[in-house]
Amino acid sequence: MTSISNAVSQPILAYDRREDVMKFEDTKLGVKGLVDSGITRIPSIFHHPQQNLVNSPNSVDVDPIPVIDLSDPTPDVVDQIRKAAGKFGFFQVINHGVPVSLLDRLVTGVRAFHELPDEERMSHYRRDPVNGVNYFSNVDLFVSKAASWRDTLQLRLGPIMADIDAIPPICRSEILEWDKEVKQLGEKLMGLLSQGLGVNANKLEEMSCLGGRVMVGHYYPYCPEPNKTVGIAHHTDPGILTVLLQDQVGGLQVKHDGKWVDVKPVHGALVINVGDLLQIISNDKYTSVEHRVYANPLHEPRVSVAVFFNPSMRENLYGPLPEVVSAEEPALYREFTYTEFITRFFKKELDGKSLAKYFSLENKE
C-alpha cells in the first residue's frame, strides 16, 4: 500500500496546453475535423471557465436591438442610427440594397467550403494569408486560455483584393459579388454615422475607413458538449464598423445593460456593429459593445459572414475627431497609428473591451 507521503512525493504530470494546441493545429482540419471524427467529448483546450459560458443566469430571451429600414429617405434614419450606435452599439438594417438572393447564396457557398472533403479544405489551412486567403480555427488560438468551437475562412478584400485564383472556387463568385455590394453599403452607413456625429458625410471615408476590408466566413458545427465551451468568446471588434450576415440558426448575443441578449436572425437583414476605433473617433458618442456566440447545440451548422471595415492608411494618426471634442467634452483617448492599434489587438486574446481602454487617456500602462 502506498503511503500518503510517497503519494505526495510522486510527480504530478502537468497539462501541457500548448502541446495539445499544436496537435490540433497540425491536423489542419479544424473543429469540423473533430466533429467528423465522431468525438462525444470535446478536448480540454476548448474548455472555458464557468463564468464565460452561455448558460449564465444573466442571459435573457429578449431582443432590443433596433431594426432600421434604410429605404426611408427622411433625416429620421440618421437619428435612428445615431441613437442605436450610441445606446446599443448594434443594429440590424433591412432594405439595405444588397439582394437577399445573394445573401442566401453567400451563406450556402461559405458552408459548402467548410464541408469540402478534408484534402481540399486542408490545402487552404494556414495562419499567414500570403495570397490574401486563409482558413484556420481560432484567430487567437495560440494566445487564448481556451479555444472556441468554430473554424474560419478569411479573405482580404481591400485595399488590395486577395489573389482571385486563391479564393475557393466553390464560393468565389458569391464573395466577389458580395464585396461590391458590401462596399457600397459600408459607404452609405459611414455617411449616416458621420452625419450622426455632426460632421461631413464623407468624413470617415476621407479617413480611409472604407479602404481596409477583411471578410471572415465562420462555421460553427455541432458541439457535443456546448455547456463547456463557446462559439466565440466575448469581445468587441477592433475596427470602425462590422457588417454581419447571420443565417437562421442563431447564436449571437450582445451585452446590453449588463445582460446578454439574443440578436435574433431576421431573414434578409444585416447586423451592423460599432468597432473600438469608431468609439474612439467619436469620443464615446458611439459605443463598441461586447458580443459572443454560444457553442452550437444543433446538428445543423451555424454559418455567419462578416466584413470588418478598417482604415487603409495605417500610419496616419487616429483619435477623437476635433469636431466632437470641446472644453465641456474633452478628448478621452490619445492619438495613435492604426499599425500600433491593430498590433496591440493581435497580441492579446479576445477578452472583452480591453483594447479601447488601453488607448484611454486614463490608462496608466
pLDDT of residue 346: 76
Residue 181 parent element (H or E): helix 172-196
Written as one letter, the residue type at 65 is I
pLDDT band at 351 (very low <50, low <70, confident <90, very high): low
pLDDT band at 317 (very low <50, low <70, confident <90, very high): very high
pLDDT band at 6 (very low <50, low <70, confident <90, very high): very low
For the chain, the farthest-separated pair of C-alpha atoms sits apart, in whole angstroms, at: 84
- Segment 191-214, tens digit of pLDDT: 999 999 999 999 999 999 999 999
The answer to whether residue 256 scores a pLDDT higher than 50 is yes
Distance CA 202, CA 199 (A): 8
More confident residue, 67 or 347: 67
pLDDT band at 173 (very low <50, low <70, confident <90, very high): very high
DSSP string, 270-329: EEEEE-HHHHHHTTTSS----EEEE---SSSPEEEEEEEEE-S-TTSEE-S-GGG--SSS
pLDDT of residue 110: 98
Q: What is the mean pLDDT of residues 304-326?
A: 96
Residue reference for cell 465551451:
229
Q: What is the mean pLDDT of residues 322-340?
A: 96
The answer to whether residue 58 scores a pLDDT higher than 50 is no
In the chain, the percentage of residues whose pLDDT exceeds 70 is: 91
Closest CA to 337 of 208, 200, 154: 208
The answer to whether residue 13 scores a pLDDT higher than 60 is no
Phi, psi of 58 (to 5 degrees): -85, -10
Give the CA distances from residue 348 to residues 8, 208, 216, 291, 351, in Å, rounded to whole numbers and listed in that order: 37, 25, 19, 17, 8
Can you give the pTM of this predicted structure? 0.91
- Segment 60-72, tens digit of pLDDT: 555 689 999 999 7
The fold of the 60-358 domain, in CATH, is: Jelly Rolls (2.60.120)
Q: What is the mean pLDDT of residues 293-317?
A: 96
pLDDT of residue 242: 98
Mean pLDDT of the chain: 91
pLDDT of residue 163: 97
Distance CA 295, CA 54 (A): 8
